[in-house]
Chains A and B, each alone.
Chain A
Amino acid sequence: EAGVAQSPRYKIIEKRQSVAFWCNPISGHATLYWYQQILGQGPKLLIQFQNNGVVDDSQLPKDRFSAERLKGVDSTLKIQPAKLEDSAVYLCASSLFLAGFNGEQYFGPGTRLTVT
């Protein structure tokens, strides 16, 4: 089966500019996640969708970050305006919705963002 797709793979912007990332999850996966991974750290969840509804966005900096998952499939994550500390890899992942979560999330290749 095709994996999680993300684009772009790399992005360099100046601070105060805006940027958007796109994710296409595995077909049939109801749950979609966006993570931020700063160099030397583990992935940190930014937002979790169940179909097109938000399950958890407690760690999303809502003054500058926004995300949507229209129609419960593709998702976009936007940063506006970007700050230097937003430099990171942004990972998208998806999982089947199961009554008993088995822990398996499928990750995309990530988008490496550099803010200068």
Chain B
Amino acid sequence: AQRVTQPEKLLSVFKGAPVELKCNYSYSGSPELFWYVQYSRQRLQLLLRHISRESIKGFTADLNKGETSFHLKKPFAQEEDSAMYYCALVQGAQKLVFGQGTRLTINP
């Protein structure tokens, strides 16, 4: 069965330090992966999708099929990056399977 694993429930880093949120997946075939983010008191929203290879708010994520990973990275963390981050995998027709999420806290 397709599955998304985010091994860290909590991650705390200092402002200006690099950030890496881990995501591993199990999927047979070519996966489509995404990162969603939920800021405090806001709705869950799409942050970035692997297929577009974009950088949003300084975040990037590279799909590594050999390691079945899709880690989210940012070289210099900012306080406004504090949020819940969810990795998600497309399954079937427009269906997303979410990981359990990582709460990122950026300390000043």
Contact = CB atoms under 8 A, between A and B. Distances in A.
Interface residues of B, number: 24
B49 interface: yes
A2 to B, nearest CB: 13
Contacts, number: 61
Interface string A40-79: 1111110010100001100000000000000000000000
A95 B88 CA distance: 15
B43 A103 contact: no
Interface string A10-51: 000000000000000000000101000000111111001010
A27 B94 CA distance: 18
Contact of A45 (B6, B86, B96): B96
Nearest to A96: B94
Q: What size tier do the contact residues of chain A reach?
A: 20 to 34
Contacts of A95: 94
Interface of B: 4, 6, 9, 32, 34, 43-46, 49, 51, 86, 88, 90, 92-101
Interface of A: 3-4, 31, 33, 40-45, 48, 50, 55-56, 91, 93, 95, 97, 101-110
